[in-house]
Amino acid sequence: MSDRTAAPAPRRLREWEQRVEVPLLAASLLFLAGYAVRVLAPAGAGFWRDLAAALVGAVWLLFVLDYGVRVRLSGLGRRFVRSHGLDTLVVLLPLLRPLRVVHLYTAVQQRREHPRLSLYARVMAYAGVAAVLLGFAASLAVYQQERDAPGASIRTFGDAVWWACATLTTVGYGDATPVTPAGRVVAVGLMACGLGLLGAVTGSFSSWLIQVFSREDERRPPAGG
Amino acid sequence: MSDRTAAPAPRRLREWEQRVEVPLLAASLLFLAGYAVRVLAPAGAGFWRDLAAALVGAVWLLFVLDYGVRVRLSGLGRRFVRSHGLDTLVVLLPLLRPLRVVHLYTAVQQRREHPRLSLYARVMAYAGVAAVLLGFAASLAVYQQERDAPGASIRTFGDAVWWACATLTTVGYGDATPVTPAGRVVAVGLMACGLGLLGAVTGSFSSWLIQVFSREDERRPPAGG
Amino acid sequence: MSDRTAAPAPRRLREWEQRVEVPLLAASLLFLAGYAVRVLAPAGAGFWRDLAAALVGAVWLLFVLDYGVRVRLSGLGRRFVRSHGLDTLVVLLPLLRPLRVVHLYTAVQQRREHPRLSLYARVMAYAGVAAVLLGFAASLAVYQQERDAPGASIRTFGDAVWWACATLTTVGYGDATPVTPAGRVVAVGLMACGLGLLGAVTGSFSSWLIQVFSREDERRPPAGG
Amino acid sequence: MSDRTAAPAPRRLREWEQRVEVPLLAASLLFLAGYAVRVLAPAGAGFWRDLAAALVGAVWLLFVLDYGVRVRLSGLGRRFVRSHGLDTLVVLLPLLRPLRVVHLYTAVQQRREHPRLSLYARVMAYAGVAAVLLGFAASLAVYQQERDAPGASIRTFGDAVWWACATLTTVGYGDATPVTPAGRVVAVGLMACGLGLLGAVTGSFSSWLIQVFSREDERRPPAGG
């Protein structure tokens, strides 16, 4: 939303963003995969865990570099930090990085000029992809924090995924909940995302209904009802 | 939604679908009933359980045959699998089959040319029917998985129905929750449906309000307010 | 919704409804009060409990009589049962009776010709009144079922109210939940109402935003943005 | 909503409100900070707790004075109490006072004449600020009630914040819930706010989608679809 109100980005910034979008998306998925290996690899597989940690660090460095290039190309300096809040957050919390898939998706859509009817399908696809990526990242982060905590109810990665699903849908059974402060901070972030996901599903359904309805209005001659 | 953007189906496919719609709907309810007998019949009633299993298998075969006929008649080949996602899912998970009631409902509505005011009533009826069928199917599936699991909190079919209601409405008490991996997979599906149900209820209420409002606008002369 | 699509009610039916609306509303609140005394009076107060039971029975009879008169005046016979679903449900489950406050409210509004801007305030007032009445009735019914049940977590009327609030808002802590079949049936009804309440709040907020927005559009000349 | 339908406030009232808005907002944040010190200061820090209590009392007196001045300036007398429900509530429950930030925000926006596109951003910012302030105030109040209660599951301020997050998002795990009557009353208020927050998020998402959609409609020539 905020992107529309901002001044038009300089051409070089846009060119940079278009060129690095696909590689950076691949890098962000690599980041997630590396983090997953780091968390889920058995304690014995020391080599693979170290390799994954190195990969994660290298990709993060890549993200920071890209952010720096974009700050410079935008010519906005510090204002870039404020006007591109999501980008800044994503550099600090790279597990949220895959959310930039949404940006790529929009770019692809605009090139293909898809018919407008798929707007709701697009929102649903966004929400679905975001839910899966966020849920997976949160499961990993919470599992890493909780697995060795005393009195934890999240003891396996399966428990963590189960907890993430119950949280994202705002069902919240409470049979598996984080008990460590770090795990709870991740959980609060996931709850907020669940609220947003609910908003996206509800909102797109609502606007779809309104559209179907107004189209029916146009087709029929206005009756007395 | 996707049906509108797709190319118009060949006439023979439409004729086939219209002819088999009611029989297949009856078959899908028979499938659900057979599955219910299979799960709920007491251990002693071996004959009835076998009969129900045979019935379930036979109806499933029927669904696969119908799917094959429609793929051929559509002339789309493999693209049919992608463009008719719900149908494909329903062949793989026949417990979801009764959701096709919605299709039948739409067809019946279009023939009768119901007044448009009932759009919200229709959406509510869809959501209600879908909730009841999904909740019943999920209760059966979860009960089958959980009843003999160690440490399970879902021990009777009543518990399973209670759990399904708390899940579909996203209340999620957590006094009865699945503990087996298979039961949890079913539960995640039901949670997603609960989110959709919430979206349907909220969305149709929202668009109903907007309609009432815009109709009031039309009636009165525009005031200064 | 259904009232608009139905044929116009005969004049005598409307006259009857207008005349009995206020007395019947008072009777329904009396019914709720009588039921509350019946449930909440201490075991020693046998006289008051009997009196309350008699009152509840008498008011119920009144409701049945009114329903009979309306069926006859409508001239619809059995079709009345189907076309007035809420009324029929309310005769069978008189604890839901106070929901007819909404009807009265609408009638009063139409007489006073309130400005349209209060539509959202009206919906919110409806939802609020319905939530309070339903929550109170469900608390009473659940408390009556649960207080002597073995293993119950709802032991006092305060617990029942607390449970009802957590259920209506779909929070669902699960620290107090019904364990008897009858209590759970009441709970499922309340969950469905919570879903509807959420839909009402969300929907009216959504349509209010859309209205504010379209009004801002009208005021300003269309800009390039 | 109600402010628009009310009669225009006298000029002196508006001037008073504009003049005291910023100081009172600062005072309300001071009130919250003082209450936080009162609740969270260790038992040994008697001096700071007394100072905080004195500060809280003084600020409350300020609020009551401001309310009195506004009642007099409005010239409405007792009707002011009814037509300014939020203001009255806020004087009685000063922990809700920071919600008046929303009023200030609106005033600032109207002066700056922000572009209309930021309406959704504004609603989101409102909802976010309200959620944080309400969650913090409720955490403090519940922690004060619960920390010494027998059988309490909220034992630290961290638990209280965790509980508040799970409640505001309607997730409701139930691993930490208030057990005292006073704590539960606060909780019910927070649940209602969670419902409203959900409504705000969903509603603004929904109306944003509708706007994006209608804008796409304007850009393209109307097709046959």
The residue range of the domain holding B213 is: 114-225
Of B1, B115, B119, which has the smallest distance from its Cβ to A120's Cβ? B1
Q: Do B134 and B211 belong together in one domain?
A: yes
**Is-contact D87 D70, C-beta < 8 A?**
yes
Q: Which residues of D touch C198 (CB under 8 A)?
A: 195, 198-199
Q: Answer whether residue A108 is part of any domain.
A: no
C152 against B224, higher pLDDT: C152
- pLDDT score for B198: 78
Least confident of A119-128, B59-68, C212-221, D155-164: C212-221
Q: Do C87 and C169 belong together in one domain?
A: no
Q: Do B222 and B126 belong together in one domain?
A: yes
Is the CB of D117 less than 8 angstroms away from the CB of A202? no
What one-character DSSP code corresponds to residue B214? Answer: H
Is the CB of D213 less than 8 angstroms away from the CB of A207? yes
Q: Which residues of C touch B166 (CB under 8 A)?
A: 172, 191
Residue B99 binned pLDDT confidence (cut-offs 50, 70, 90): low
Nearest to C106 by CA among C3, C209, C210, C212: C3
Q: Answer whether residue A75 is part of any domain.
A: yes
Q: Which of A58-62, A130-134, B199-203, C213-217 has the highest mean pLDDT?
A: A58-62
Looking at the predicted structure, is the pLDDT value of residue B86 above 50? Answer: yes
Q: Answer whether residue D109 is part of any domain.
A: no
* Model confidence pLDDT, tens digit, residues B151-179: 899 999 999 999 999 999 888 898 899 99
Q: Which residues of B touch C194 (CB under 8 A)?
A: 169, 171
At A143, which CATH number? 1.10.287.70
Q: Do B224 and B121 belong together in one domain?
A: yes
Can you tell me which residue has the tokens 């023939």?
Answer: B111
Looking at the predicted structure, is the pLDDT value of residue A56 above 60? Answer: yes
Q: Answer whether residue A59 is part of any domain.
A: yes
Looking at the predicted structure, is the pLDDT value of residue D111 above 60? Answer: no
- pLDDT score for B223: 43
Distance of CA A193 to the CA centre of its chain: 9
Q: Answer whether residue B108 is part of any domain.
A: no
How many CB atoms neighbour CB A117 within 10 A?
16
Last residue in a domain, options A68, A95, A122: A95
- pLDDT score for D100: 64
- Looking at the complex, does the CB of residue A145 fall below 8 Å from at least one CB of chain D? no
Cα separation, D163 vs D172, whole angstroms: 8
Q: Which residues of D touch C172 (CB under 8 A)?
A: 172, 174
Q: Do B192 and B134 belong together in one domain?
A: yes
- Find which of B206, B209, B214 to mutate to test the D interface (most D CBs within 10 Å of its CB): B206
- pLDDT score for B206: 74
Looking at the predicted structure, is the pLDDT value of residue D103 above 70? Answer: no
Residue B140 binned pLDDT confidence (cut-offs 50, 70, 90): very high
Q: Do A3 and A77 belong together in one domain?
A: yes
Q: Which residues of B touch A117 (CB under 8 A)?
A: 1, 4-5
> What's the average model confidence in pLDDT over A120-129?
75
Nearest to A175 by CA among A193, A154, A192: A154
> What's the average model confidence in pLDDT over A2-22?
69
Q: Do B88 and B124 belong together in one domain?
A: no
Q: Which residue of B has its CA nearest to D204?
A: B206
- Find which of A175, A201, A202, A211 to mutate to test the C interface (most C CBs within 10 Å of its CB): A202
- Find which of B206, B210, B215 to mutate to test the C interface (most C CBs within 10 Å of its CB): B206
> What's the average model confidence in pLDDT over A75-96?
74
**Is-contact D159 D176, C-beta < 8 A?**
yes
Looking at the predicted structure, is the pLDDT value of residue D135 above 60? Answer: yes
> What's the average model confidence in pLDDT over D176-201?
88
Distances (CA, A) of A17 to A56, B196, C90, D56: 22, 35, 62, 52
Residue A164 binned pLDDT confidence (cut-offs 50, 70, 90): very high
Can you tell me which residue has the tokens 């396996």?
Answer: A156
Can you tell me which residue has the tokens 């959310």?
Answer: A99
> Three-state DSSP class for D220?
coil
Tokens of A122: 């697009």
Total tally of structural domains belonging to chain D:
2
Q: Which of B213-222, C44-53, C82-91, C142-151 has the highest mean pLDDT?
A: C142-151
Residue D222 binned pLDDT confidence (cut-offs 50, 70, 90): very low
**Is-contact B187 B215, C-beta < 8 A?**
no
Q: Do C153 and C51 belong together in one domain?
A: no
What does pLDDT average to over chain C? 78
Q: Answer whether residue D176 is part of any domain.
A: yes
> Three-state DSSP class for C203?
helix
Q: Do C77 and C125 belong together in one domain?
A: no
Looking at the predicted structure, is the pLDDT value of residue D84 above 70? Answer: yes
Is the CB of D115 less than 8 angstroms away from the CB of A199? no
- pLDDT score for A223: 43
Least confident of A167-181, B142-156, C193-207: C193-207
C 166-225: CB under 8 A from A: 170-174, 202-203, 206, 225
- pLDDT score for A208: 75
Last residue in a domain, options A95, A125, A157: A95
Q: Do B136 and B204 belong together in one domain?
A: yes
Quote the ipTM score: 0.79
D210 against D72, higher pLDDT: D72
> What's the average model confidence in pLDDT over C176-188?
93
Last residue in a domain, options C45, C65, C95: C95
Residue C183 binned pLDDT confidence (cut-offs 50, 70, 90): very high
> What's the average model confidence in pLDDT over A158-176?
91
Long-range CB pairs of A124-130, under 8 A, 24+ apart, other chains included: A124/A200, A124/A201, A124/A204, A126/A102, A126/A200, A127/A197, A127/A200, A127/A201, A127/A204, A129/A101, A129/A102, A129/A105, A130/A99, A130/A101, A130/A102, A130/A193, A130/A197
Q: Do A152 and A223 belong together in one domain?
A: yes
Is the CB of C174 less than 8 angstroms away from the CB of A173? yes
> What's the average model confidence in pLDDT over C81-100?
72
Q: Answer whether residue A106 is part of any domain.
A: no
Q: Answer whether residue D201 is part of any domain.
A: yes
Looking at the predicted structure, is the pLDDT value of residue D193 above 80? Answer: yes
Is the CB of B173 less than 8 angstroms away from the CB of C170? no
**Is-contact A139 D225, C-beta < 8 A?**
no
Is the CB of D173 less than 8 angstroms away from the CB of A177? yes
Q: Which residues of B touch A207 (CB under 8 A)?
A: 203
Q: Do D121 and D85 belong together in one domain?
A: no
Looking at the predicted structure, is the pLDDT value of residue A103 above 70? Answer: no
